[in-house]
């Protein structure tokens, strides 16, 4: 194995995400910020997207995600595309508890808050793990990867596939067995 190097760009795709128990610990660690963490977990919103996000971005229980307009006055997210995320009951409840704007601090401050709360909760991880929790949970529930791509705002399907495909509930055996029922 001497002299063998891992090719550039290769990394583990086993994303880390929180389960219910860790999320409860996080929410209990700092009740004043639990609404923010719940909202981010249930929408998959990035820290830069939640910073400065206002209440007007939710219409008919759908969050319209975009970042600040660029020089050409067009709003854009990390992927360069806007996206809409329907709010489930938990996201709506958390949203109702948040101020307007939801957070009016620098994205780094949000990460610092999360680090404090995660440490206090004893769960570790970074703020981005809430986003992975959103994607991983949807995948394990059987939501198609293409839908997850759109909800998360991944510019490339390969990104969604790389991080979440291994979590899909139906393996090859089950997939092939479906043919018996359909044909």
DSSP string, the chain: -TT--PPTT----------HHHHHHHHHH-TTTHHHHHHHHHH---HHHHBT--GGGEETTEEEE-----TTS----TTS--EEEE--HHHHHHHHHS-SSSB-S-HHHHHHHHHHHHHHHT----THHHHHHHHHHHHHTT--HHHHHHHHT-SSHHHHHHHHGGG-S--HHHHHHHHHHH-
Tracing tokens 């440490």 back to the chain, one arrives at: 119
Least confident of 1-5, 92-96, 128-132: 1-5
pLDDT for res 176? 73
Q: Distance between CA atoms of 11 and 25, rounded to whole angstroms?
A: 29
Average pLDDT over every residue of 24-28: 98
CA distance 174 to 177: 5
Fold of 20-182: hpI Integrase; Chain A (1.10.443)
Cis bond upstream, residue 25 (ω within 30): no
Q: What is the pLDDT, as a whole number, of residue 10? A: 42
Residue 63: phi and psi, rounded to 5, are -85, 120
Q: What is the mean pLDDT of residues 143-166?
A: 93
pLDDT single digits (tens) 102-151: 999 999 999 999 999 999 999 999 999 999 999 999 999 989 999 999 99
Residue 2, pLDDT > 60, answer no
Higher pLDDT, 178 or 30: 30
Residue 150's CB: how many other CB atoms inside 10 A? 16
d(CA 121, CA 36): 15
Mean pLDDT of 59-78: 69
């Amino acid at each position: 194995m001497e002299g063998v190097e891992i090719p550039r760009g290769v990394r583990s795709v086993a994303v880390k995400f929180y389960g219910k128990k860790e999320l409860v610990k996080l929410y209990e660690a700092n009740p004043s910020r639990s609404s923010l963490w719940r909202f981010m977990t249930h929408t998959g919103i990035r820290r830069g997207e939640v910073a400065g996000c206002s209440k007007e971005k939710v219409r008919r229980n759908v969050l319209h995600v975009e970042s600040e307009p660029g020089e050409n006055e067009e709003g854009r997210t990390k992927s360069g595309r806007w996206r809409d995320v329907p709010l489930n009951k938990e996201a709506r409840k958390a949203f109702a508890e948040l101020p307007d704007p939801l957070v009016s601090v620098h994205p780094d401050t949000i990460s610092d808050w999360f680090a404090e709360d995660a440490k206090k909760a004893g769960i570790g991880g970074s703020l981005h793990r809430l986003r992975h929790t959103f994607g991983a949970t949807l995948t394990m529930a059987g939501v198609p990867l293409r839908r997850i791509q759109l909800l998360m705002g991944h510019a490339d399907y390969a990104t969604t596939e790389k991080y979440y495909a291994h979590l899909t509930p139906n393996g090859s055996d089950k997939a092939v067995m479906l043919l018996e029922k359909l044909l």
